[in-house]
Amino acid sequence: MLKVFLLLTSIIGTTHAQITQSVMDKKKPLLEGGAGAVSALVPAYPGSEDTNFFFIPFPTFFYRGDVLRADEEGGMRGRFFKNDRLEVNLSIGGSLPASSKDVSIRDGMPDLNTMVEFGPGVLATLWQKRGPISFKLGLNLPLRNAWSVDFFEAKERGLVFNPLLYFITEGLLAKGYLTFTSLSSVFATQKFHRVFYAVDPQFQTAVRPSYQAQSGYLGTTLAQGFSKQVYKDVLMFLGFGYQNFKGAANRNSPLLRREENFSAALGIVWWFWESDSLEN
C-alpha cells in the first residue's frame, strides 16, 4: 500500500486515483475496501532526464475515522482538530526509489532510496457546492520531515513544505465522471535537496562536477486526473502531471537535467466492500 500511495502522490500530489463515487456525498461510509492496479511513467527524480515505468497491483482502502483518516482529500493522516471548513492533521507523503545505474547522470553514485515524509498539516475547504454537478475547492498545507529508508536503516533528510491547491468535480463532464485538478509547489531545506542534487567530490566526473545543494524552492506541479465509474463499483482513472523547475534553488546542479518533467498513470480500482456505518 505504501509504494502505491507514494506512486500516486508523486504523480499528482494526492490520491485522486482512489476517489470513490461517494466523494461528494454528504454522508460517506466509515470504511471502504478495494483492490486495483496502476501503470505509471514517472521521472526518476525531480528534474531527471530518465523515467521509470511501474506496474503495481495493490489493495486499497478508505477509513474516515474522527482521528485516523485515509481518504481522497489528504491521503493518510491523523486529525487533531476538525470543523466544517478546517482540519489540523498529521500528514504522510513521500517518493519512490530509483537505482543510480538506471539514471545515466547518476551512474556510480548512491541509489535514491524510498523517501517517507510525515509532519503537521492544515487542510481547508475553501468552497463547496453539492447538486447534479458538484464542486469542491480545497487547500492542503503540510510541513513534513523527510526520511530515506531501506531494509537496514533510515536517515533523516530535512523538512519539506508542499502547499497544494486542489479542485474536485463530479458530473461536470458527464454523469459518473470525477475530475481532480491540483497545483502544488515544493520548498525544502538543504538536507532534503542534497539527496537529489548534491555531487560530493568523490563522485565528480568530467560531465558531473562537484556541487553543494542549496535550500529553497524545488519546483511546481500542475496535475489533472479523471475517474469514471465503468461498472457498479469499478472505477478507471487516468492522471497526468507536469512539473516545472525554472527558478529552482538548485538549477545549477549537474543533476537537474530538465526544466520540465511529465508523468502519467492509468489504472483501475474495484471498490468491493463498504461498511454499514457512516462517518461522523
The pLDDT value given to residue 91: 82
Q: pLDDT digits over 109-124, tens only?
A: 999 998 999 999 999 9
The residue ranking higher by pLDDT, 31 or 254, is 254
Burial class of residue 132 in the structure, from the number of CB atoms within 10 Å of its CB (0-12 exposed, 13-18 middle, 19+ buried):
exposed
* Length of the chain (residues): 280
Q: Is the pLDDT of residue 19 over 50?
A: no
- Terminal CA-CA length for the chain: 25
Rounded to 5°, the CA angle 121-4-196 comes to 70
pLDDT at 22: 46
d(CA 101, CA 205): 15
Query: Among 63, 56, 14, which residue's Cα sits nearest to residue 35?
Result: 56
Q: Which residues pair with 85 in a beta bridge?
A: none
Give the per-residue pLDDT at 2: 41
| For residues 31-58, average pLDDT | 90
Report how far residue 174's alpha carbon sits from residue 182's, in angstroms, rounded to the nearest whole number: 20
The model's confidence at residue 9, banded by pLDDT at 50, 70 and 90, is very low
pLDDT exceeds 70 at position 207? yes
> What is the mean pLDDT of the segment spanning 47-66?
88
Position 74 confidence tier, pLDDT thresholds 50, 70, 90: low
User: How many other C-beta atoms can be found within 10 angstroms of the C-beta atom of residue 83?
Assistant: 8
Comparing CA positions, the residue from 235, 186, 196 lying closest to residue 34 is 235
Strands (DSSP E) contained in the chain are 31-43, 51-64, 68-71, 75-82, 86-95, 114-129, 134-149, 154-161, 164-170, 177-188, 216-231, 234-244, 260-274
User: Average pLDDT of 214-233?
Assistant: 92
Mean pLDDT across 235-248: 93
Q: 11 near 256, Cβ under 8 Å? A: no
Supply the pLDDT for residue 12: 41
Amino acid at 210: S
Average pLDDT over the chain reads 86
pLDDT, mean of residues 132-143: 93
Residue 154's pLDDT band, with cuts at 50, 70 and 90, is very high
Q: Classify the C-alpha dihedral 232-233-236-239 as positive or negative.
A: positive
Beta bridge partner(s), residue 41: 53, 264
Between CA 92 and CA 6 the distance in angstroms is: 9
Taken in order of first residue, the domains within the chain and their CATH numbers are: 2-274 (2.40.230)
Is the per-residue pLDDT at 125 higher than 80? yes
Percent of the chain's residues with pLDDT above 70 = 89
pLDDT > 50? residue 84: yes
With beta carbons less than 8 A apart as the criterion, state whether 204 and 33 touch. Answer: no
Q: What single DSSP character describes residue 153?
A: -
Separation CA 117–CA 132 (nearest Å): 37
Sequence-distant contacts of 130-136: CB under 8 A, at least 24 apart: 130/24, 130/26, 132/171, 133/169, 133/170, 133/171, 133/172, 134/24, 134/169, 134/170, 134/171, 135/167, 135/168, 135/169, 135/172, 136/24, 136/167, 136/168, 136/169
